[in-house]
Every structure is written in structure tokens, then in C-alpha cells.
Amino acid sequence: METTAIDDSEAIVGDLYSDACPCREILNLVASKWATLIIGKLEDGPLRFGQLRRAISGITQKMLTQTLRRLEQDGLVHREVLVHMRPPQVEYSLTELGQSVTEPLAAIRDWSEQHLPDVQAARRNFDALQPN
């Protein structure tokens, strides 16, 4: 039987998770500069729009709205409009899915806190050696 029909070259080193890697989507989601901060703030419990804005210094209304929409769309955040309130208030909270993503996020955070000094040292060393 002809098992050699496929590209015979040594080249491809197993493409188990090349383009189709689902983690890329999640990384894009989570690395969008504000998403992790928002998720982090909501870990402690529901917050209203203004509370979030004040809790995350430097964020603009636009980015807060935009990121919340995306998180809501992806099922990580629940948006609850308190209609009867005057003035109207909107409360955001993590869904179960959102809760579950805090675990891998914590893995990244832990690694960062543990190894960021090494990364920064590597950067300084690199800069020192490369007369760029």
C-alpha cells in the first residue's frame, strides 16, 4: 500500500495545533488590553458601569463599553439592566463561563509574577549585548 502518497519531505513537524489552534481566539479575546482587568475586577462580584470605570483607572468609556460588549457577546459577562432604577443602572457580572476562565488567567498571572524579573533581566542583558 502506498503510504508515501503524502508529502514525503521531513519538513512539516506535526501540525497538531497550528492554524486551527482555538487558544488563539481566546488569547485575542483576553489580551485585548482591558479584558483581563475587567474580568479581574468582576471576580469579586457584580459591578456597575461607573464602578468599573472608576476601578480601572485610565480606561475610557468607549473601551469599557466596547470590551464589555465583546465579553458579553462571548458569554463571559452578564449584563443586567436595572430598569426600575432612576437614573438607570446597569450591572455587570461574570457568568459561569467567565468564572471558569479566571483559572487559566490566574496561571498566567502567577507565572508573570514569578518570572517577570527574569524576562526583564533578559531584556536588559539583550540590550547590553546587542549594539543596535
Among 29, 40, 51, 105, binds DNA (CB under 7 A): 51
Instruction: Work out the number of other CB atoms within 10 angstroms of the CB of residue 63.
Output: 16
Which CB, 1 or 20, lies closer to its own copies?
20
The C-alpha cell 479575546 sits at 29
From DNA, its own copies, none, which one binds at residue 60 (CB under 5 to 8 Å depending on kind)?
DNA
Which CB, 80 or 123, lies closer to its own copies?
123
Per CB under 7 A, does 68 bind DNA?
A: yes
Q: Is 118 helix (H, G, I), strand (E, B) or coil?
A: helix
Prior bond of 87 cis (ω within 30°): yes
Greatest pairwise CA separation for the chain in angstroms: 76
| Interacting residues toward DNA by CB under 7 A | 32-34, 48-51, 53, 58-63, 65, 67-69, 79, 81, 87-90
